[in-house]
Amino acid sequence: MKGSKWTYLIILSIIWGTSFILIKKALIGLDPYQLGALRTVLTGLFLFAAGFKTIKTIKKDDWKWIVVSGFLGSFIPAFFFAIAETEIDSAVVSVLNSLVPLNTVLMGLAIFKITSTKRQILGVVIGFIGTALLILKGAELNPDQNYLFAGFIIASTLMYAANVNIIKRYLQDVKPLTIAVGNYVPIVIPGLLVLIFTNFFSAEAFSKPEFRMSILYVAILSLFGTAIAKVLFFKLVQMSTPVFASSVTYIMPIVALIWGLLDGESFSVLQMVASAVILIGVYLANKKQKKI
């Protein structure tokens, strides 16, 4: 089981680390609202095709948490990340997303009464230091970015942290695929309405090559970066701890930075050091110790 946790963590890091470059490419032909809505609708269709029958197994008392989880963990962040990447590089956005473990620990202690070990907290702090170094270096290399848009990512990390704790506290006995499918029941229709009101289905839009290519990027993002990844993530949350599961966001920036390098972005020695610090933080976050 211990080995399985790390396998899930690495796979998710690769998938989600790649998601940021896909969002960046998709924004060439779509506006952020179309991207967020299309991602929601396509993911819902993929999940419904895979496990729509599992909806009937959801207990009445669990539905309220599944709905909240759907909006906090999927619907709103899908738009916020797309909006943020209109002004901030994809690699920097992935780094900012690393605030999730810190927020998970703080929210788990303050609201959900889920305790963490001293070593886990130390790992979170060390990992956060690594991400801070990446942010500082990224700002130095890209001084023209509008970091006010970082607020959208910070807000998303708070929602992700709440979602992880909700799943661990209230949906521990619900199958991962069932949670994922249930999440999209209340948000697919709002996503479809956004597409309609942003003229996504107009003939003029579909006549543009970059528009059609962006749809392909979003389809890949929806299938792998959202539908499959969510099922894997919910399983990871249930088999480990909220802190360890959320530490996937510490490895994602490394993957995202590699994609950025391949896409022509810079990668400095300091960023390599910061990446090593992040990995140390993830390792410590998984070590067991007497609870505080």
pLDDT at residue 291 in the model: 42
Rounded Cα distance, 222 and 177, in Å: 15
Question: In this predicted model, what pLDDT tens digit does every residue of 60-93 receive, in sequence order?
Answer: 999 999 999 999 999 999 999 999 999 987 877 8
Rounded Cα distance, 121 and 126, in Å: 9
SS3 24: helix
Domain ranges of the chain: 2-285
Percent of the chain as helix, strand, coil, to the nearest 5: 80, 0, 20
Residue 213 or residue 154, greater confidence: 213
Angle at 283 between CA 270 and CA 91, to 5 degrees: 40
φ, ψ for residue 247 (rounded to 5)? -70, -5
pLDDT at residue 290 in the model: 43
Whether 117 contacts 291, CB under 8 Å: yes
The whole model's pTM is what? 0.84
In this prediction, residue 225 has a pLDDT band, given cuts at 50, 70 and 90, of very high
Q: Which helix (H) or strand (E) holds 267?
A: none
Whether 98 contacts 161, CB under 8 Å: no
pLDDT at residue 162 in the model: 92
